[in-house]
Amino acid sequence: MEQEPIPFPPPKKGGPENSGMKIVGINFAVFIGYTIILSATLDKGDWAFASLIFAGAHAFICLIVAAVVQKWAWALAGLLLVIAGFSTCVLGVFSS
């Protein structure tokens, strides 16, 4: 009896499909880390603005790296960091 081929083989762990999301995940972990550190060390209104500045610089670096290594995951990480940084700033300003 012949076995039918699998139409969609399962993805390999650690392959190129997963490396892009690792880049985005690591960048978000770094963003969360410095946001927590800033919120613990600065006043309420100051940490939100400082977090936005850090997120903007982080996103700019991600976009430069995306252009150099030509991986869209870095550009996606930069765009998501700008969105998350802006929303963190708005949350911090309106909660104080």
Burial class (CB in 10 A: 0-12, 13-18, 19+), 10: exposed
Domain that holds residue 57: 43-96
Residue 18 counted as domain residue: no
Q: For 3-45, what is each residue's pLDDT tens digit?
A: 777 776 666 665 556 677 888 888 889 988 988 898 889 887 7
Examine residue 82 and state whether it is found in any structural domain, yes or no: yes
Q: Is residue 53 part of a domain?
A: yes
Mean residue pLDDT across the chain: 80
Q: How many domains does the structure of the chain reveal?
A: 1
The pLDDT assigned to 16 comes to 56
- Please tell me the pTM assigned to this model: 0.70
Enter the tokens of residue 17: 């499909």
More confident residue, 2 or 77: 77
Q: Which residues of 34-45 are buried (b: 16+ CB within 10 A; e: fewer)?
A: ebeebbeeeeee
Cβ count near 50 (within 10 Å): 20
In a domain, residue 92? The reply is: yes
Determine, yes or no, domain membership for 95.
Answer: yes
**Strand spans (E) along 32-90:** none
Is residue 32, in this structure, part of any structural domain at all?
no
Specify if 76 maps to a domain: yes
Q: Is 90 part of a structural domain of the chain?
A: yes
pLDDT at 15: 55
